[in-house]
Amino acid sequence: MILVTGGAGYIGSHVVRDLADRGYSVLVIDNLTTGHIEAVDKRAIFLQGDAGDPKLLDGIFKTYSIQAVMHFAASCLVGESVVNPLKYYQNNVVETVRLLQKINQYQIKHFIFSSTCATYGIPNQSTIDEKLPTHPINPYGKSKLMIETMLNSISDRDDFNFIALRYFNVAGAHPSGEIGEDHTPETHLIPNILRHLQGKSACIEIHGNDYATPDGTCIRDYIHVTDLSTGHILALEFLLKNQHKKTAEIFNLGNERGVSVLEMIHLCEQVTNIKATVNIQPRRKGDPPRLVASSKKVREALGWMPKFDIHTMIQTAWNWHRNYPDGYK
Ligand code: UDP
């Protein structure tokens, strides 16, 4: 049985579905503050609660034989983390300490962690590899880096292995069109553009066009949620196959291609054949100008290879937004 925290969220729900498709038994815990029960695959067992709730975790670890934990539950908005940092240290750091205490107590061996490219801060090179120093510039990135640090510290325990996956910008929806991205409020670029193109907002706001990038808008590296999910399953299989090998690894997951905010708006216009109205706003605090991955390490170590290009990311997201114009509601 694989325990997935945050399995009702955008990324967690895709991984749960892919795990179930591959025949894994899955137990999901999610407190449903941002997740959606409708997103949880029916083949998984679902328990509502916090990822670090000691009573809930005692019950789970005593009842089920948990082979590995995949930890997605977190607050994950850069802008919000600047405005409300303690929420991020509480929900991300404190809850994870509590989860790791139980993982230690029950001697769970394998842990896969959702980390982020926000740990790098403002990198001084154009593509980011895992050796680059980490200087996060927002509380979200800082909270995730603290957890990586904790994982490294406890991985000295002989039988604890972990893989932390530093996501770049996750996008798109399940190819079935049945699960996708539904945040309230929505702050991410692609859903905001698509919602605007659906007529749900008067314009798409660009948070700053005075960055030192070719068109002045921020550049990000977008990765399809299914490719990201495959990365987690490869990480899980690596840990399960190499039980007796010490693993304490950090891998980037990105497509190695930078797309600016303006370029993304144009790509969405092409895919949907609808013209956007753009409104330039001041910079959003905490945004680095350019984040583009090198994913060489994960390609070589796990054989991971992204399959979805930027058009397919937008197309699958657009299918989801049209199927579920009001999200899961
Ligand atoms: N962004 C924007 N308008 C929006 C949403 C996002 O200009 O409505 C910009 C944001 O400032 C950042 C990029 O798009 O430069 C990606 O932001 P997102 O929130 O999608 O992901 P993040 O990089 O913060 O994790």
CB atoms within 10 A of CB 282: 10
What average pLDDT does range 306-326 have in this prediction? 96
CA distances from 198 to 83, 165, 253, 270, 309 (A): 29, 33, 30, 14, 22
Q: Report long-range pairs for 240-246 (Cβ below 8 Å, ≥24 apart).
A: 240/67, 240/68, 240/110, 242/161, 243/109, 245/161, 246/155, 246/158, 246/161
Query: Rounded to whole angstroms, how far apart are CA atoms 2 and 131?
Result: 30
Residue whose CA lies nearest to ligand 1 atom number 3: 206
180-222: pLDDT as tens digits = 999 998 999 999 999 999 999 999 999 999 999 999 999 999 9
- Topology of domain 189-221+255-323 in CATH is UDP-galactose 4-epimerase; domain 1 (3.90.25)
pTM to 2 decimal places: 0.96
77-90: pLDDT as tens digits = 999 999 999 999 99
| pLDDT bucket at 244, cuts 50 / 70 / 90 | confident
Side chain identity at residue 295, one-letter code: S
Which is catalytic among the residues 140, 167, 211, 324?
140
Task: Report pLDDT for 126.
Answer: 85
Residue whose CA lies nearest to ligand 1 atom number 18: 188
Rounded to the nearest angstrom, the distance between the alpha carbon of 140 and the centre of ligand 1 is 14
Rounded to the nearest angstrom, the distance between the alpha carbon of 265 and the centre of ligand 1 is 12
Q: Kindly give, in sequence order, each residue whose CB lies less than 8 Å from that of residue 138, ignoring residues fewer than 6 positions away.
A: 78, 81, 82, 118, 285, 286
CATH of 2-170+224-253, one of 3.40.50.2300, 2.60.120.200, 3.40.50.720, 3.10.129.10: 3.40.50.720
How do the domains of the chain map onto residue ranges? 2-170+224-253, 189-221+255-323
Active site annotation includes 328 = no
Rounded to the nearest angstrom, the distance between the alpha carbon of 189 and the centre of ligand 1 is 5
What average pLDDT does range 113-136 have in this prediction? 94
Residue of 317, 299, 297, 321 whose CA lies nearest to 308: 317
Q: Is a pLDDT exceeding 80 seen at residue 158?
A: no
Residue whose CA lies nearest to ligand 1 atom number 16: 189
Ligand 1 cavity residues, CB under 6 Å: 78, 169, 187-189, 192, 204-207, 218, 220, 261, 284, 287
DSSP code string of 180-200? ----SS---HHHHHHHHHTTS
Q: Is a pLDDT exceeding 80 seen at residue 281?
A: yes
Query: In testing the pocket of ligand 1, which one of 119, 189, 192 has its CB within 8 Å of the most ligand atoms?
Result: 189
